Structure 1
Amino acid sequence: MLTIIDKYILKRYLATFSVMLLLFIPIGIIIDVSEKINKMIEHKVPLKEVVSYYIDFIVYFANILFPIFLFLSIIWFTSKLANNTEIIAILSSGISFTRFLRPYIIGATFVSLVSLLMGFFLVPKASEGFKNFRYTYLIGNGQAEMRQLSDVFRQISDDEFIYVSNFNSISKTAFNFSLEKFKGDKLDYKITANRIKWNPKDKTYTLFGYTKRTVGKLDDFIEQADQKVKKFNFELDDLTPTVYVAETLSLFDLIKFIDREKSRGNANINVYLTVLYKKYSVPVSAFILTIIAVAVSSMKRRGGMGLNLAIGILLSFSFVFFEKIFGVMAESSTMPPIVAVWIPNIVFGSLAIYLLRNAKR
């Protein structure tokens, strides 16, 4: 059962965090508008699209800066409690420091659950709208830049592999196509074409410069044609997903997508796994940052609230920096994505334990 002190601290926790979001999000929108207004006017973006973009922007922006907002809000109101000697009064009444932390942990649990559910379902939808708008109206060649268009290699079944050197998503045409079919560990046949075009009406492919080489026991059989129409069990458009597709999928769709791309031998699988693991690691960071913030700001200092805020800003940006660095390492190095994603939480979790012990003393 919550006491009056619990309710008081919990109310300040949630209210300060909400106010911090409401203060900084409009600032983010104003900065974004000032940077992009010229391109929006140049491309004559409809007002409805702009409004929809900024609704998605709010969710996307809040999700990215969630650790900073949470950390600074706790530093702010806890420092005020310390400067007003309210914390001294609470601890002097016989309440232990661990018991004093309880409303903070309850608040962190609530924020974590909201962040977890948003990351599973709401943020992916907002990310899709946000990214689509940027690529369609604001970035270089628009839709073409969304896709992995060169050197596409996929495993489309247990024993079939395809490769194209370049893909045009508008004309649904790929170049330097090859398909290899295996029986066990031996090549059964190989199909090559200078160019392959997807025909959406009858779901077939037209292969130009077609060659099929079937491996025989003594001799190989070669079939050639200037142009040949065939059916395959894949669509070229599906084999070249958008570069940010993992960010736009809800939890269950993302898990299915990762399983499918693993079977296809997608070279970007670490990128998708990083997105999946972050859905779990970011909510956990709410507890770690809450403990660090309370430990740092619960003592009354000579520098007052300003010193606590300076320490808070340094630590919060350090956390975001660590998260970004190890996120890149998870996507592009040999380090397992799950290890890279969780290292910031492990490092700052250890720091939280150390600071908490000192605060108790």
Structure 2
Amino acid sequence: MLKIIDKYILKRYLATFSVMLLLFIPIGIVIDVSEKVNKMIENKVPFKEIAIYYFYFTIHFANFLFPIFLFLSIIWFTSKLANNTEIIAILSSGISFSRFMRPYIIGATIVSVFALIMGIFLAPKANDVYNNFRYTYLIGGGREEMRDNSDVFRQISKDEYIFVSNFSDVSKMAFNFSMEKFKDDKLEYKLTASRIQWNEKKKNYTLYNYNKRKVGPLGDIIESGEKKDTVFHFDLEDLTPVVYIAETLQLKDLNKFIDKEKARGSSNINVYLVVLYKKYSIPVSAFILTIIAVAVSSMKRRGGMGANLAIGITLAFTFVFFDKIFGVLAEKSTMPPIIAVWIPNIIFGILAIYLLRNAKR
């Protein structure tokens, strides 16, 4: 008997969630097309590029609104069970509310594993294609706006530092370049140039109007010139990181990237940490939202399913609102990213415990 009920509820849980995704993704695509079609026509975007973009847009969209889809799907089918007095019948047979929750928890486990896999493996590629398309074809400054291209100061090794005041992604050229190398906390040499350009074919850099001062025990050695080709041990990305680079990296690469940026004293480290922590917080939210949704919709209300959906939509958008607000606070303030990312789950986790206790009564 119990296994039949478990299978029935679990099947409804997964089926409704899948249908909710299939219903809302086309709506999201239609809205996105209506907003961007003029820019696409104006920029003569190839149809192949548009097709690839919207394939990955579905993954990006599903990952972005995952909490809302999950919450509404559970509210929908649980409210139907309550209105049909199926839940009353199940609980009246002697099954406890905690036991009744078991298939929901199993469903939440399946969905959370799916969300974790998507966040680690699928979402990075989707975010890369999505953001590249936006910056290439839809945003005013184009590819220039893809990068943090002004006043970049970075530590590229234990004792080497570089600085550029501005960078052009089109010409692959940076301005007011300087590089300092230290040894035992003492300056060994300083290299400056009015411009530095990356040469794609030769895989080297060209310095313009450069000046190199090497500090020596008997006096400084100065070298200068109008132009010089040379090789450095840093990448073009070290000069101008793509603004959304963390979103495009899989977990292993993201951890390496964050360690590298911490060593360099990157000013954007909180942005990267928020991306990392959300890969774990979103799957956990599946359990919290499932408990809240069941607790809210398992009782018959005077307003019927409409009242449950109204409550569900309000709570779901409140969760997404909190998630975005605290994400921005982590990026722009001194609040530790790990705390900011997990605060929505903590708040709604407390709410889930409270609602679950009331539902049991």
TM-score by structure 2 length?
A: 0.96
Correspondences of 1:102-121 after superposition (within 5 Å): 102-121=102-121
RMSD: 1.5
Correspondences of 1:212-227 after superposition (within 5 Å): 212-217=212-217, 219-227=219-227
Deviates more, 1:130-139 or 1:209-218: 209-218
Describe the SS at the equivalent of 2:239: coil
Task: State the partner residue of 2:356.
Answer: 356
Task: State the partner residue of 1:61.
Answer: 61
- Aligned equivalents of 1:51 and 1:207: distance in 2? 41
- Aligned equivalents of 1:132 and 1:2: distance in 2? 50
- Aligned equivalents of 1:284 and 1:151: distance in 2? 38
Task: State the partner residue of 2:178.
Answer: 178
Query: CA shift at 1:325, angstroms?
Result: 0.4
Q: Does the 8 A contact of 1:169 with 1:237 survive in 2?
A: no
Query: CA shift at 1:45, angstroms?
Result: 1.5
Describe the SS at the equivalent of 1:157: coil
Q: Is 1:8 aligned with 2:3?
A: no
Q: Does the 8 A contact of 1:10 with 1:103 survive in 2?
A: yes
Aligned length: 361
Q: Does the 8 A contact of 1:281 with 1:342 survive in 2?
A: yes
Q: Is 1:19 aligned with 2:47?
A: no
Task: State the partner residue of 2:311.
Answer: 311
Q: Does the 8 A contact of 1:292 with 1:352 survive in 2?
A: yes
Q: Does the 8 A contact of 2:79 with 2:298 survive in 1?
A: yes
* Alignment-mate amino acid for residue 32 of structure 1: D
Describe the SS at the equivalent of 1:299: coil
Task: State the partner residue of 1:294.
Answer: 294
Deviates more, 1:281-290 or 1:299-308: 299-308
Identify unmatched segments of 5+ residues in structure 1: none
* Alignment-mate amino acid for residue 210 of structure 2: Y
- Aligned equivalents of 1:199 and 1:45: distance in 2? 28
Correspondences of 1:49-88 after superposition (within 5 Å): 49-88=49-88
Deviates more, 1:270-279 or 1:44-53: 44-53
Q: Does the 8 A contact of 1:172 with 1:237 survive in 2?
A: no
Task: State the partner residue of 2:165.
Answer: 165
Identify unmatched segments of 5+ residues in structure 2: none
Describe the SS at the equivalent of 1:163: strand
Q: Does the 8 A contact of 2:120 with 2:279 survive in 1?
A: yes
Q: Does the 8 A contact of 1:191 with 1:211 survive in 2?
A: yes
Query: CA shift at 1:218, angstroms?
Result: 6.3
Task: State the partner residue of 1:195.
Answer: 195
TM-score by structure 1 length?
A: 0.96
Q: CA, structure 1 residues 120+90, in 2 after alignment: closer, same or farther (shift >3 Å)?
A: same
Query: CA shift at 1:345, angstroms?
Result: 0.5
* Alignment-mate amino acid for residue 50 of structure 1: I
